[in-house]
Chains A and B, each alone.
Chain A
Amino acid sequence: MRTGNLEGFVDRTWQVVHDSGELAAAVMSYTISGLSGDTDVKYRLISRVVNGYNGPVAYNALINNDSGNNYGYQYVTCGNAAVAANRGTLTAILNAAGYCSALNGITFNDFILNAKSGSTRTGIVKFAYDISGTTVGNVQVNGLSWNNSVDNITSLQITGGQVGCIGIGSRFILLKEVHVPSGLRTGELDIRGTLKGAWQEVYRHTVSGSAETSITVSGLKGNTTDQILRARVRTVNGYNGAGRYVLRFNNDTGNNYGNQYLQGIDTTVSAGRIVGNGLVANDDPRALGQVAYIENLLYLKSGFVRTGIHGRACWISGTTVGSRALVGDVWTNTVDEVTSLVFAGTTNNFGIGTEICIERLNL
């Protein structure tokens, strides 16, 4: 069965089940209901929250309005050069939609929830928070549990506990793993257009022939079709020496970007904050042929600073993985529509075999 643009739930995909849009008014909490965790099995909540409260707010989540001390967490976090970790219990899912310390700060969050009953429910959230200007204050990852193995999950309530704490411009996008017990059956389904609510690849480039120094992805529409992008990159260093590449929006080469990273190199955990002329996308490869694998999640719509989170494994050669990092990203431009991404290296950073794949979330 061949289709053009398709709107409807398709078995065996991930699709958006709820998009709040950017909120036009501040609220204290936000509820997504009508869920069925036992059918959907997993959820992914991508959120960008603007702090509307003049003080610190943890954006936690209640499952099925359970406000008992039934949730657990273990996190590792960093701010500037400081690294910390902690474990505890709570009356909600800790930081399901992030954290902000101050008014108008931004937190960008990626939360996966294993929702099916039968055992303790688990989750992982990665988030970059206290984002303002070119500063990414912190980046953090939490492992999470809900000590309820019985009830079908029917709702998620994001709550910050302060009036107006979920500020104007905040957004919650929930995806589900689509399981269709019954529906219109097809043979092969060939979707020639967009599948609404799904991730779809819009760009792929493989470096062949000779190494490249810069790769531009153009024709993007960051305020309409390309508001949320995911970029996955496997680089092969084409330069015999060190060579960092950065990610730029609209080829802005000003010092308008910031990163906060948490990384492990051998037995050392370290963290740091960078402001520069691009999002630092890989730890400098040290030798010809070294491989890196990076995944970026980006919120591109204008109106606020543009935010991202990326995970990366770098300096890979043979069985050695030199570093593993989690990074929060910001581009401080709030005005211009993103029309291009530029992967900007120094010299031949993108060797033969480098692959760049860009996916958009069809909202």
Chain B
Amino acid sequence: MKVGNLKPLGSILHDGWERIYDYTVAGSAITSLTISGLNGDVDEEYILESKVVNGYNGSIEVQVRPNNDTTATAYGFQVVQGASSTGSARRYTSKAQLDFLNANALSDVAAGEMKIFAKSGFVRTTLLEKTGSISGTTVTAVGLLGHSWNNTADNITSLVIGASQTGGIGVGSQFTLWKKSRRVV
């Protein structure tokens, strides 16, 4: 069946990826946002894409917390990255969030794509590719991360995305969440 453009107002059942959240910060900078109404045990996988414009006059981290779990030791990650002429790696095992993006100065830009295996039963895992802090033609770093959220039990019903400084998520920042829209569950 050939059609022109389709604009479904309901779900798109096709065993493929459906954009379920799309937000661009306008007007004034924000500090956090919440994507709610999720069902990680049904959706199983999410992809979170973002481009952040730093709204704070200093450095920020943008962090993601499933179900707003702020437990200080619930998360860990391994990163391999490049910054200037140095390739490096680090591991953290006692974090209070999924580290997502970072930017060093006001108006610097950072962007990334995080794939999240959301289904409960085992630790929740991510694959993240990110770049930042970008100002003009200066790209400070590129990194590949894998995370673990050490919660095997709870269904993921929300993602809370927050900046480490007030107003860190500046005007023009974009957040998009995709879910696997499966016809047979």
A-binding segment of B34-42, B56-64, B83-91: B83-91
Stretch at the interface among A23-31, A99-107, A261-269: A261-269
B125 at interface, CB cutoff 8 A: yes
Q: A13-B17, A201-B180 are in contact. Are A266 and B147 (CB under 8 A)?
A: no
Which of the candidate stretches A47-55, A184-192, A242-250, A251-259 sits at the interface with the other chain?
A184-192
Q: CB-defined interface of A269-302 with B at 8 Å, one 1/0 digit per residue?
A: 1000000000000000000000101010000000
B5 nearest CB neighbor, chain A only = A183
**Contact partners of B93 in chain A: CB under 8 A:** 318-320
Contact B95 A319 (CB under 8 A): yes
Secondary structure type dominating chain B contacts: strand
Q: Is the pair B147, A114 in contact by a Cβ cutoff of 8 Å?
A: no
Question: Contacts A12-B8, A12-B18, A114-B51 given: A321-B77 contact, CB under 8 Å?
Answer: yes
Which of B3, B94, B147 sits near A8, CB closer than 8 Å? B3
Chain B contact patch, size range: 35 or more
The answer, yes or no, to whether A171 is at the interface (CB within 8 Å) is: no
Q: Check B117 against A85 for contact (C-beta < 8 Å).
A: no
> Considering the chains assembled together, what is the distance between the CA atoms of A6 and B88 in angstroms?
46
Q: Say how far B6's CB is from chain A's closest CB, in angstroms.
A: 5
**What is the bound-complex CA distance between A288 and B174, given in angstroms?**
40
What is the CA–CA distance of A357 and B17 in the complex, to the nearest angstrom? 13
Which A residues are in CB contact (< 8 Å) with B78? 264-266, 313, 321-324
Q: Is the interface of A mostly helix, strand, loop or mixed?
A: strand
Given the known interface contacts A265-B78, A318-B150, the answer about A234 and B15 at a Cβ–Cβ threshold of 8 Å is: no
Partner of A316 from B81, B94, B110, B148 at Cβ < 8 Å: B148
Give the Cβ gap from A178 to chain B, nearest Cβ, in Å: 8
In the complex the two chains form, what is the Cα distance from A254 to B107 in whole Å? Answer: 53
Q: Mark A75-101, 1 if CB is under 8 A from B, else 0.
A: 111100001111101000000000000
Q: Is A353 an interface residue (CB 8 A)?
A: yes
A105-128 toward B: CB 8 Å interface, digit per residue (1/0)? 000000010101011101110100
Asked whether, in the complex, the Cβ of A269 is within 8 Å of the Cβ of B5, the reply is: no
Question: When the two chains form their complex, are residues B14 and A195 in contact, meaning their CB atoms are under 8 A apart?
Answer: yes
**Does the CB pair B137–A269 fall under 8 Å?**
no
A interface footprint on B5-38 (CB within 8 Å = 1, 0 otherwise): 1111111111111111000000000000000000
Asked whether B168 is an interface residue with its Cβ less than 8 Å from the other chain, the reply is no
* B2 contacts A85, C-beta separation under 8 Å: no
Q: Is A350 an interface residue (CB 8 A)?
A: no
**A residues adjacent to B (C-beta < 8 A):** 1, 3-14, 41-42, 69-78, 83-87, 89, 112, 114, 116, 118-120, 122-124, 126, 141-145, 147, 177, 180, 182-192, 195, 198-202, 232, 234, 236, 262-269, 291, 293, 295, 311-314, 316-326, 353, 355, 357, 359
